[in-house]
Amino acid sequence: MLTHPKNPAYQLVEEDDLATEPVAPWLADMADPLRSVFRWAREYLCRPHVELGRKGPVCPYAQGSLDRHTFLLAVHRGATVEPDTLDALLLVYRDWFRELPPVAGPAAQFKTILLTLPDLPAGTANDIVDATQARLKPQYVAEGLMLGEFHDGPPDKGGLWNADFRPLHSPVPLLAVRHMVSSDFPFLADDADSVATYLRLFGANIPTILRSQVDAAARQFGLALPTPAPASRIAPQGAS
């Protein structure tokens, strides 16, 4: 378990924290929901799916994150949460995310913090998660981060390789903070500021399979495309 260096009220749960009994007292009534999130990661995110539309696991990074112990869960308790409260809470975890190792290099793409909201009633949790992601996405993207929404709805976003597949379902409503990767472009293509950020970060290393989409979006928004990097430097493709 990781404790915030400045505020011990904020903690991050690692998979090993739930592996033995008894768990920490503050986790006692949360152990089963949090275990279900780790189980979902291993049994769903880390495995292929018949509806995915490509080979490989649903999430190409989940296994590496779990193996590196950088798949971390935060918990917010309560049957209600105001938007301002949730935004401020995510800000704390976003800033902490930046400080957690690894902070740079290829290994950093495997780091993620998932803020779980286990007490929200089913009738409102999905709307809260979706609205929060939509509200904060521009801010996170501008900083090279992604904020993902997951719940049992599931969220009405199709997969990148099969538009009819809904890959973002989870057993507990949650919002996931991670670094943007080059294969995220389809999630950003409809917004000029997001495309500009993507070009700044990945414009010289666009995956070949996405090049035509990026070119089209850049032309649509009047943005210049950087010179492509040599093929050996282009990051591998992979996203749900």
3-state secondary structure 28-44: CCCHHHHHHHHHHHHHH
> What are the residue boundaries of the structural domains of the chain, listed by start?
2-179, 187-233
Structure confidence by residue, pLDDT tens digits, 80-135:
999 999 999 999 999 999 999 999 888 999 999 999 999 999 889 999 999 999 99
Strand partners, 71: 112
Q: What is the mean pLDDT of residues 178-182?
A: 95
Cβ contacts of 89 within 8 Å, gap of 6 or more: 76, 115
Confidence of residue 174 (pLDDT cuts 50, 70, 90): very high
Confidence of residue 230 (pLDDT cuts 50, 70, 90): low
Q: What is the mean pLDDT of residues 44-60?
A: 93
Q: What is the mean pLDDT of residues 57-64?
A: 95
Neighbours of 133 (CB within 10 A): 21
Confidence of residue 234 (pLDDT cuts 50, 70, 90): very low
Cβ contacts of 97 within 8 Å, gap of 6 or more: 111, 113, 145, 177
CA-wise closest residue to 65 among 149, 167, 181, 144? 181
SS3 124: helix
**C-alpha distances in Å from residue 54, one per residue of 17, 19, 50, 72:** 34, 33, 9, 27
Separation between Cα atoms, residue 173 and residue 115, nearest integer Å: 9
Q: What is the mean pLDDT of residues 211-231?
A: 85
Own/partner pairs, 210-216, CB within 8 angstroms, 24+ separation: 210/182, 210/183, 210/185, 210/186, 210/237, 213/185, 213/186, 213/189, 214/185, 214/189
